[in-house]
Amino acid sequence: MPFRLLVPLGLLCSLPPPHLGAPGPDGSAPDPAHYRERVKAMFYHAYDSYLENAFPYDELRPLTCDGHDTWGSFSLTLIDALDTLLILGNVSEFQRVVEVLQDNLDFDIDVNASVFETNIRVVGGLLSAHLLSKKAGVEVEAGWPCSGPLLRMAEEAARKLLPAFQTPTGMPYGTVNLLHGVNPGETPVTCTAGIGTFIVEFATLSSLTGDPVFEDVARVALMRLWESRSDIGLVGNHIDVLTGKWVAQDAGIGAGVDSYFEYLVKGAILLQDKKLMAMFLEYNKAIRNYTRFDDWYLWVQMYKGTVSMPVFQSLEAYWPGLQSLIGDIDNAMRTFLNYYTVWKQFGGLPEFYNIPQGYTVEKREGYPLRPELIESAMYLYRATGDPTLLELGRDAVESIEKISKVECGFATFVLT
Ligand SMILES: *[C@@H]1O[C@H](CO)[C@@H](O)[C@H](O)[C@H]1NC(C)=O
Ligand SMILES: *[C@@H]1O[C@H](CO)[C@@H](O)[C@H](O)[C@H]1NC(C)=O
Ligand SMILES: *[C@@H]1O[C@H](CO)[C@@H](O)[C@H](O)[C@H]1NC(C)=O
């Protein structure tokens, strides 16, 4: 089936959602207004609990009611929450947090940071809050969007990541010390997502700051990955960034790879870049040819195409959303419904689900509240207005409140 091109897609995506009726306990469509309030209350339960028990650490531990540093020492939850505060219309709290970050955020610290996580969470969190702030009613400084405190913090964080890209291949190391650069003896093995998940933030940063270095390094890394695909058009899971040799040769759409594909599509849309989209569409052909069975996606050996792991991972649940972004609605819906049956079976998505056995995989039964399936439902709903998608939204709120809510926040739960 031919895919729609970007321009008509843009139109498709900007259609307003269809009008929705009243709530229905009796099987009619769930009422979005009711669930909007519930979600808001859930956000404040977690957020206030973080402020009370965990700030200034990165994250809250909801069972022991204390905080700890996870990805650095950034008060990461505050950065993560910035754009959500704007979406919820809480401008005063947003402004308070921006001031707290301005006074406390320091990237000149002796911390070994994940290049990938620091980009998507810190750089991405700061940039999206920066870009949303004016529309949300925040008073912005002169020169915005090319100037502003959040943009300056994002740029400072991103500069700390640049030494990781100084490799013979241009593909980055996975870890960098924020103070000293890449540690001597650092492992050169990086996962595919850790190489191909920069273009959205780095191209945005280059266009806002006028410094091309960010977009340039992101593009080089993407080109190297593209050139490293196998003869049958697949990429593996981990590669040596010094030699360019694949170290883990499982090809699939989940852990270790996932956001690479996501960033090709979202980068293509954001930058109106046909080359990025063309790369994704080539991968998509090989993925469908070798890894798809009955609208499930398995793991295969990247050179031979033989199945290595017949497993669905909860991280893969972004895929129907991605398919709907490229206009491939029918396939998106079929795969979404497969994943939704797993949700209904367990009341959440286990980390790993063995497809032929129809059950969870030992030690991978946890559901750490990943948003991917809900995000897919959102994209698909925006494209189709199909009320089945709202049911997943309702099920997610009900499950998470029932099984995961604890006094100090929300905790991972085990599905069996
Ligand atoms: C904004 O967030 C703060 C902190 O959770 C809260 O105290 C305040 O009531 C919120 N304001 C609005 C308008 O929701
Ligand atoms: C960072 O990693 C290096 C190399 O593994 C190690 O020697 C160093 O102690 C680590 N630094 C911190 C602050 O953990
Ligand atoms: C699909 O797989 C077959 C082998 O199973 C191969 O011959 C063919 O070239 C592949 N097509 C694409 C588009 O990958």
pLDDT in tens, 276-307: 999 999 999 999 999 999 999 999 999 999 99
What pLDDT is stored for residue 360 in this prediction?
94
pLDDT digits (tens, 9 = 90+) for 178-218: 999 999 999 999 999 999 999 999 999 999 999 999 999 99
pTM of the full predicted structure? 0.92
Q: How far apart are CA 241 and CA 167, in angstroms?
A: 7
- Which residues contact residue 331 at a Cβ distance below 8 angstroms, ignoring those fewer than 6 apart? 1, 295, 323
pLDDT at position 24 over 70:
no
Q: Is 285 in the pocket of ligand 3 (CB under 6 A)?
A: yes
Domains of the chain: 144-414 (1.50.10.10)
Percentage of residues in the chain with pLDDT exceeding 70? 93
Q: Is 183 in the pocket of ligand 2 (CB under 6 A)?
A: yes
- Which residues contact residue 102 at a Cβ distance below 8 angstroms, ignoring those fewer than 6 apart? 149, 153
Q: Going by DSSP bridges, is the β-strand pair 352-354/307-309 parallel, antiparallel, or unpaired?
A: unpaired
Please state which of the ranges 71-75, 99-103, 336-340 shows the lowest mean pLDDT. 71-75
Judge whether 375 counts as a catalytic residue.
Answer: no
| Residue in 389, 267, 283, 391 with CA at minimum distance from that of residue 329 | 389
Top mutation candidate among 36, 39, 43, 44 for ligand 1, by most atoms within 8 Å of CB: 44
Q: Which ligand is nearest to the CA of 84?
A: 1
Q: Which helix (H) or strand (E) holds 9?
A: helix 6-14
Average pLDDT over residues 42-61: 98
**Ligand 1 neighbours (beta carbon < 6 A):** 44, 47-48, 90, 93
In Å, how far are 100, 341, 395, 410 from 51, measured between CA atoms?
12, 36, 28, 14
| Residue in 346, 317, 329 with CA at minimum distance from that of residue 381 | 329
Q: How far apart are CA 330 and CA 343, in angstroms?
A: 20
Which residue stretches of 228-328 are H helix?
258-271, 274-291, 319-325
Please state which of the ranges 5-14, 15-24, 35-44, 46-55 shows the lowest mean pLDDT. 5-14
Q: Which helix (H) or strand (E) holds 189?
A: strand 189-191
User: Would you give the end-to-end CA distance of the chain in angstroms?
Assistant: 38
